[in-house]
Amino acid sequence: MEERGLDDRELHAWRSFFRMQEVLRGRIEQQLQAANGLSNADYTVLVALADDPAGRARLVELGRFLGWEKSRLHHQLTRMCKRGLVRRESAATRAMFVVLTPEGRDALEKAAPCHAAHVRRLTIDPLTDEQIDQLAEISTAILANLEADQQPSR
């Protein structure tokens, strides 16, 4: 009576995947929040910035890298600015940068091992080595398809 077009096997796969992803995301979020006062979005931005040796990135680049809408990024950054995790810097020529502040770097370094352990416990440990690779392959397959299918923009 719903989701016709998927047979039982497919429907089951989809539903368990979706449920799993939902719960997992929630747990990760809570853990980061409780232990480090960071949202997952915060953490993601921090990690991305730390990729750069100077902890600096242009807004567009960052947005493209994260696959985020510009406005989402903007709001996120203003929140992070308010908390002193990053700082905006306007270059001479019509370009905006974000820089990791020392506090931001600190927060990241404190959170990282804890987060990693949590991710491991929740998603790596319950899987066999094979399954880990399968998950990676499945994910990239779906991702590739998503990127092909429509929306090259962003």
Task: Report the site for a second copy in 78-107 (rule: CB under 8 A).
Answer: none
Return the H-helix or E-strand segment holding 50.
Answer: helix 40-51
35 is a site residue for a second copy (CB under 8 A): no
- Out of 39, 47, 96, 110, which residue is the one contacting a second copy (CB under 8 A)? 47
122 binds a second copy (CB under 8 A): yes
Interface with a second copy, residue 131, by CB under 8 A? yes
79 binds, among a second copy, DNA, none (CB under 5 to 8 A by kind): DNA
Judged by beta carbon, residue 28 or residue 59, the one nearer a second copy is 28
In the chain, helix, strand, coil percent, each to 5? 70, 10, 25
Q: Which residues bind DNA (CB under 7 A)?
A: 26, 29-30, 33-34, 39-42, 58-60, 63, 68-72, 74-79, 88, 93-96
User: Cα angle at 74 between 103 and 146, to 5 degrees?
Assistant: 110
Q: For the beta carbon of residue 131, count every other beta carbon within 10 angstroms.
A: 12
Half-sphere exposure of 76 (CA within 13 A, CB side): 20
